[in-house]
Amino acid sequence: MKPVAAAWPDRWLRETLCVEPREAALYEAALTHRSASGRNNERLEFLGDSVLNLLVAEMLYRRFPSSSEGDLSRLRARLVSEGPLAQVAQSLALGDELRLGSGELKTGGFRRESILADALEALIGAVYLDLGLEAARALVERLAGPLMAALPAAEELKDPKTRLQERLQGRGLALPTYTVERVSGEPHAQHFEVRCEVAPLALAAGGTGSSRRRAEQDAAQRLLDLMEGA
């Protein structure tokens, strides 16, 4: 657990985030997980999530002037998802600054992606409340800039079912059909087997997954692979 000290977290904020804090209590809360005693970061995470989404949407809107609403939504979802946010937090050594309860500390909570991502959003919320929208924008642009530069094409972010549907529609063909062929396992751990068929092309592929949706996505990807090889 992070010890309470007069310099925490001011030095880290200044040196790592380039933030000059005014209301220290906001940042202390942002870095305090609910498992620890005292004010925690849940409310700030709620606020920071909205601020982050707004600012990332603005960045994408300006960077990709020709992209559709759907493409921009997929790109934003990629940037603000748990994995990328946790990667940013790790690059900042944010986990070393967290206050965690003893249970989370013992189980390595300072490395858990969900905790790191939530804390990063909470910090953005704290900056917004303490220093305003422009300071939050500057922070988000510094943190999200490298991620945005590494984004794949929006087309690559579409899920397999969407890509298959668009491929078929582009060729004037009927939509694929999905059939659940088998469900096995206990109710809390089911396994689905699904068949995806495109009758006009005489192509079909099977997929599996822990839910019907995942099995359908798997089958759609396999059918796309068949189309590529045809």
pLDDT digits (tens, 9 = 90+) for 2-44: 544 457 789 999 999 999 999 999 999 999 999 998 899 999 9
- Residue 85 CA: distances (Å) to CA of 88, 107, 134, 191: 5, 21, 20, 30
Domain boundaries in the chain? 10-151, 160-229
Third-level CATH fold of 160-229: Double Stranded RNA Binding Domain (3.30.160)
Residue 212 has pLDDT above 80, yes or no: yes
Residue 166 to residues 8, 65, 186, Cα–Cα distance (Å): 52, 22, 35
Active site residues: 49, 121
- Give the pLDDT confidence score for residue 37 in this predicted structure: 84
Q: What's the chain's average pLDDT?
A: 90
- Write out the CATH class of domain 10-151: mainly alpha
- Predicted TM-score of the model (pTM): 0.70
187: pLDDT strictly greater than 90: no
| Mean pLDDT in residue range 132-149 | 94
DSSP-assigned letters across all residues of 134-188: HHHHHHHHHHHHHHHHTPPPGGGGS-HHHHHHHHHHHTTPPPPEEEEEEEES-TT
The residue written with tokens 């019907």 in the block is 212
Host H or E run for residue 230:
none
What integer is the mean pLDDT of 121-150? Answer: 95
Look at residue 184 in the predicted model and tell me its pLDDT.
93
Give the confidence band of 155 by pLDDT, cuts at 50, 70, 90. Answer: low
* pLDDT higher than 60, residue 1: no
